[in-house]
Structure 1
Amino acid sequence: MDFTNADMLKILGSIWSQIEIFFRSMMLPSRLWQFAIIAICFALAHFGRVWIAPKIDDWARRRELTTRQKRWVILMRQRVRGILFVLLAWASVLMLDAVKGFYSWRFLVVLAATLVTAWLVVGLIARFIRNGILRAAVRWGAWIWVTLYYLGFWDETVRILEGAAVELGGFRITAYALLKALVLTTILLSVARIVTGQTSVRVRTNEDISPSMAELVIKVMQVVLYGAAIFIGIKAVGFDLTGLAVLSGAIGVGLGFGLQKVVSNLVSGVIILMDKSIKPGDVISLGETFGWINSLGARYVSVVTRDGKEYLIPNEDLITGQVVNWSHSDEFVRIDLNFGVSYHDDPHLVRKLAIEAAQSVGRVLRNRPTVCHITGFGDSSVDYILRFWITDPVEGLTNVRGAVFLALWDTFKEHGISIPFPQREVRVVEGSQLAVARDGEKPPQEN
């Protein structure tokens, strides 16, 4: 049904007439007494808040509360005045019901108590929405709705919103349908977020599900729930989604060409989750980057290094590049150290002392063989390789190498084994200018 300007003026005139009647009725003596009762309840609630709020603070300080419990205490402290007003207003309604002849004096008191109760309930429910902007929009929208509903202006408001419409060809969108779709979509998205959040915690803590499969299940669930929420919201407006099939196909082709890298990263992310090549907590090396995987995203993998830097590596690089996963199949990691000692030292003793020095470091495993071999005879030293095992690469590799090198230094110094360094010998040829100058002779003159 389309509304003309005359129809809109009639609706506005009807609303204004109801407002005039409402305010005229407020001037009756019984209504003035009800205003007085409401004012007294508000004053008592205000002074009650002044008295109770410090006691709530003292009670909270004396107890060890969790962060969530502290938030609820603060939330209830901020609403002490409203809670007290509701209690006092409903108590006044019961008293008016009990006193004979005063039943008709309860209308405004009941209205005020109902409105404040609804406002409090809306405020408490809105706290479950984490996004601040969305929470404020939902809270204020719900407050406006309950106020219009209990004051009796909601039907006229719906008629006005139905009259405000935009026609696109044969399709008509009203402001009321758009508002209804927005509210429904917001509610469904909030429910989807709560469900995915709670389910994600249970899936990640389930020991029967691998970390990679858990991430895949969570991502699929998020796509399904959020997609369903948006789909239902669009259907609530009245859109015929079948007509969008051709358009969505064309848009898909365009996005396929324009967003090749993004699509490639998304597909690579799904492959990573399915083949379980890497998972959160694994220690990997990719080029110059060494660290452990913090999280798996739809487009990238978050890798945290030992110096606290967080690298966001595209999923495609992990699929197409060479990645070293230090903890893919097991947690055992072998580390090789190269060193050299003097030719004068007994190699059998050197090998024995090197093994003992490595095993003296706490992180080096003793249930796996630590070996030391000669790898060659260098220019100034006999070269060795020392191999040992660890099971905690996430704790770092450079620090354990440094600890073993330091143990080698102390052990070799204690047993008199020298670690040579390159030396150069300069020889002065007899008859050269340097040799003549050294011997104090005068250099020959050229003819």
Structure 2
Amino acid sequence: MEKENILELGSAQIADVLMSAEEIRHLIALFLADLLEPGWRQNQVLILLALAGLAWLLHGAGGRMIDNRVRATEGWQKWQLRVIVQIKRRMGLILFAAMSYAVYLVMQSVTWPSRSYLIGGVATLAATWVLIAYLGRLVRNRFLRQVVVWGLWVYATLQFAGLGDEVSVFLDDLALEVGDFRISLLTLLTAGVLIGALATGARVANKTIATRIRRNEDISPSMQVLAVKAVQIFLYGMAFFLGVKAVGIDLTGLAVLSGAIGVGLGFGLQKVVSNLVSGVIILLDKSIKPGDVISLGETFGWINALGARYVSVVTRDGREYLIPNEDLITGQVVNWSHSDEFVRLDIFFGTSYGCDPHVVRKLAIEAAANVDRVLKHPKLPVCHIVGFGDSSVDYILRFWIRDPTGGLTNIRGNVYLALWDTFKENDISIPFPQREVRMLEDADPAPVTD
């Protein structure tokens, strides 16, 4: 008995859907039949077709003019080029809307208003399409942008044709029902458009808030990154839940399922979760921040960005390493600019025993102090004797810099060149090991036998 009731209910719903579709087709047929009858309504259609053809011709000519102008002018910025591309892509629709409005205003002045209502409505619809297309550019996700734009285009067109209510009823009848749970095609479309609009608003708000946070000099760079990430998660999460709630989708039934999925993900994604937690710890303890120069194993570079899962480290040769956050927490990391920006570098050299070590030390300090990037205040270069070698007196020259991001190898090379030039000018010799080979001859060579 229950099965028969369910079948009867399903048949009734199918009949309602088919009836609604038949009504929509009937309304469309009546609308087209009215357009084909001779009179001012048909004349308006012919005028609109002529304007569409003219807009299409002007679209091609205007596109070529824009291309020539852009190629002939240099110095365009990226956002200007994007705007030009969007204008060129929709120039035909823009021209059609503008010309339709112009014709509509002229006909309103010279003839009866009832003879131009269709032109005015189409002009409004075309202008609405243009506005929707440009507002859709705010949605960065391509798929979500297409859903929002096409959904709003269809909605605007149906409202213009007077079929909005009928189509809404038709889409609402196409529903999936399981117990008390019901979701229709209209609900899904509305949710997609609404979530896309809310996500766009969240992105704009997040960008504005992030800009203000980064401009606040009282907040450390690591806390700025953490605050921006927190605001981003909050805004996008609120956009999703508000969009789902606004269309009437109840998420309480998914609580148990989401809990089970969370347990499974917790076991399967331990490394990912560990990296996420490590990233939060790094941001909170401020041990590493954007711009710091670090050494991790064979990798030496500066922090480019702090991510939720990894840290981007850029080296001097242009390579970008994505180091997991967990490695920075559990491994030994050398942060050259953690507490301050001062970095000390050491280089070793030797001079011959015939050179006065007091003069050598003085000349070495002066040579290092004259090199760019070497600090002269408050940390001065120093030079010390570290030993007496086999063929030279060994020295260590220590100097400080405060811009390790500029490189370490290059500044060492510059200091070595300055030492070479200074020693050469002052007759300071840099010895090198010499070896003497002596050929020994036997006193009583053995007799040669056959």
What is the TM-score normalised by the length of structure 1? 0.89
- Counterparts in 2 of 1:205 and 1:292: CA distance versus 1, 3 Å: same
Identify the residue that residue 279 of structure 2 maps to in structure 1. Answer: 269
Cα distance in 1 for residues equivalent to 2:254 and 2:68: 60
Cα distance in 1 for residues equivalent to 2:36 and 2:343: 86
- Counterparts in 2 of 1:132 and 1:397: CA distance versus 1, 3 Å: same
Q: 1:382 aligns with which of 368, 371, 393?
A: 393
Cα distance in 2 for residues equivalent to 1:280 and 1:245: 38
- Counterparts in 2 of 1:228 and 1:398: CA distance versus 1, 3 Å: same
Q: 2:445 aligns with which of 430, 442, 445?
A: 442
Cα distance in 2 for residues equivalent to 1:312 and 1:50: 46
Cα distance in 1 for residues equivalent to 2:192 and 2:68: 43
Any residues of structure 2 matched to 1:80-159 within 5 Å, and which? 80-99=91-110, 102-159=112-169
Q: Does 1:352 align with 2:362?
A: yes
Per-residue deviation, 1:112 = 1.7
Per-residue deviation, 1:360 = 2.0
Cα distance in 1 for residues equivalent to 2:363 and 2:73: 60
Q: 2:267 aligns with which of 245, 257, 276?
A: 257
Identify the residue that residue 375 of structure 2 maps to in structure 1. Answer: 365
Range 23-32 or range 134-143, more displaced: 134-143
Q: 1:334 aligns with which of 334, 339, 344?
A: 344
Per-residue deviation, 1:260 = 1.7
Range 318-327 or range 388-397, more displaced: 318-327
CA displacement 1:7-31 (0-9 Å, x = unmatched): 2221121112112211211122222
Structure 1 residue runs of 5 or longer lacking an equivalent are 429-433
Per-residue deviation, 1:343 = 2.3
Identify the residue that residue 67 of structure 1 maps to in structure 2. Answer: 78
- Counterparts in 2 of 1:251 and 1:49: CA distance versus 1, 3 Å: closer
Q: Does 1:398 align with 2:409?
A: yes
Per-residue deviation, 1:200 = 1.8
Contact 2:292 2:335 in 1 (8 A): yes
CA displacement 1:353-389 (0-9 Å, x = unmatched): 1112211211111122211111112233221110011
Range 289-298 or range 418-427, more displaced: 418-427
- Counterparts in 2 of 1:380 and 1:169: CA distance versus 1, 3 Å: farther
Q: Does 1:19 align with 2:66?
A: no
Cα distance in 2 for residues equivalent to 1:32 and 1:393: 77
Cα distance in 1 for residues equivalent to 2:46 and 2:156: 24
Contact 2:293 2:405 in 1 (8 A): yes
Cα distance in 2 for residues equivalent to 1:42 and 1:254: 57
Cα distance in 1 for residues equivalent to 2:270 and 2:409: 38
- Counterparts in 2 of 1:406 and 1:224: CA distance versus 1, 3 Å: same
- Counterparts in 2 of 1:85 and 1:247: CA distance versus 1, 3 Å: closer
What is the TM-score normalised by the length of structure 2? 0.89
Percent identity between the aligned chains? 56
Contact 1:173 1:237 in 2 (8 A): no
SS at match of 1:127: helix
Q: CA RMSD in A?
A: 2.6
Q: Does 1:211 align with 2:211?
A: no
Per-residue deviation, 1:344 = 2.5
Identify the residue that residue 233 of structure 1 maps to in structure 2. Answer: 243
Identify the residue that residue 426 of structure 2 maps to in structure 1. Answer: 415
Cα distance in 2 for residues equivalent to 1:110 and 1:231: 39
Cα distance in 2 for residues equivalent to 1:398 and 1:342: 26
- Counterparts in 2 of 1:435 and 1:59: CA distance versus 1, 3 Å: closer
Structure 2 residue runs of 5 or longer lacking an equivalent are 1-8
Per-residue deviation, 1:172 = 1.6
